[in-house]
């Protein structure tokens, strides 16, 4: 079981994901440079949060052309496991691996704080150790986290239970007040039709050790490791 964490110029959460995988999940992990096509036989790839070069044009718009993303698209098509966090979620949408787009937050302000997200589906390799309806406390830190898609795409996501996380209150209520960025339908994370690609705005690696204030985010990595072990 081997993880790969992609590094783009400007990435600043790649080491956080690497640390969580290596030191907390105790799994082999390597960095993958954005200019390389080689995924180094990884079983799962993390597209980390932070920033990628060209984000000043539109988040992920330039990063999607990196050679590594060509390999990631092929990897996903063959059932490879991919987790996109924050900026990684944006890049996955820009790359066509996930539908929709991430726009500027409602109010045009950067938001950085712990939020509650409700687990809407445990039928993924990323959430199978969670409970249906469980509320996780995980930090966010973004300027463009406002998820949007057209009505037909939203209906498809809802029908196929591909909305994996939604912003909620601590008791699991889906309310406008619980939505930190204006995301359509309080969406905080979605998966692809094959359920092997997940994009999420909250940072699970920032909530994977008690020293960080909570361990709810580690359930995402725990689920991945368990799924890879079974595979």
Which residue from 108, 124, 132, 131 is spatially nearest to 200, judged by alpha carbons? 124
Active-site residue identified among 94, 144, 205, 222: 205
Q: How far is CA 59 from CA 20, 37, 147, 161, in A?
A: 25, 21, 13, 26
Separation between Cα atoms, residue 137 and residue 119, nearest integer Å:
11
Catalytic entry in 42, 86, 93, 149: 86
Burial of 215 (0-12, 13-18, 19+ CB in 10 A): middle
Nearest CA to 50 among 90, 20, 106, 94?
90
Residue 3 is given by DSSP the state E
DSSP lists the bridge partners of residue 103 as 146
Helix (H) or strand (E) holding 218: helix 218-230
- HEC string of 49-100 equals CCCCCCCCCCCCCCHHHCHHHHHHHHHHHCCCEEEEECHHHHHHHHCCCCCC
DSSP code of 21? I
Catalytic-labelled residue, pool 13, 120, 144, 203: 203
Catalytic residue flag (residue 205): yes
| Active-site residue flag, 112 | no
Residue 37 catalytic? no
Residues annotated as catalytic (active site), given as ranges: 86, 203, 205
């Amino acid at each position: 079981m081997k993880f790969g964490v992609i590094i783009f110029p400007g990435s600043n959460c790649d080491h956080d994901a690497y640390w969580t995988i290596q030191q907390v999940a105790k799994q082999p992990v390597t960095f993958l440079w954005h200019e390389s096509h080689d995924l180094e036989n990884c079983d799962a790839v993390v597209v980390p949060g932070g920033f990628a070069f060209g984000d000043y044009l539109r988040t992920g718009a330039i990063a999607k052309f990196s050679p590594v993303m060509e390999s990631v698209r092929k990897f996903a098509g063959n059932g490879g496991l991919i987790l996109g966090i924050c900026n990684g979620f944006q890049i996955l949408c820009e790359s066509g691996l996930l539908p929709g787009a991430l726009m500027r937050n409602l109010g045009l302000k950067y938001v950085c704080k712990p939020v509650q997200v409700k687990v809407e589906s445990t039928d993924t390799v990323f959430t199978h150790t969670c409970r249906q309806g469980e509320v996780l406390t995980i930090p966010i830190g973004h300027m463009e986290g406002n998820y949007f898609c057209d009505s037909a795409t939203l209906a498809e996501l809802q029908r196929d239970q591909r909305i994996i996380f939604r912003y909620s209150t601590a008791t699991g209520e889906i309310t406008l007040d619980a939505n930190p960025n204006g995301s359509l339908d309080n969406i905080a994370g979605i998966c692809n039709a094959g359920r092997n690609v997940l994009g999420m705005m909250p940072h699970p690696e920032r909530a994977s050790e008690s020293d960080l204030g909570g361990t709810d985010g580690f359930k995402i990595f725990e689920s991945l490791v368990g799924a890879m072990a079974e595979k």
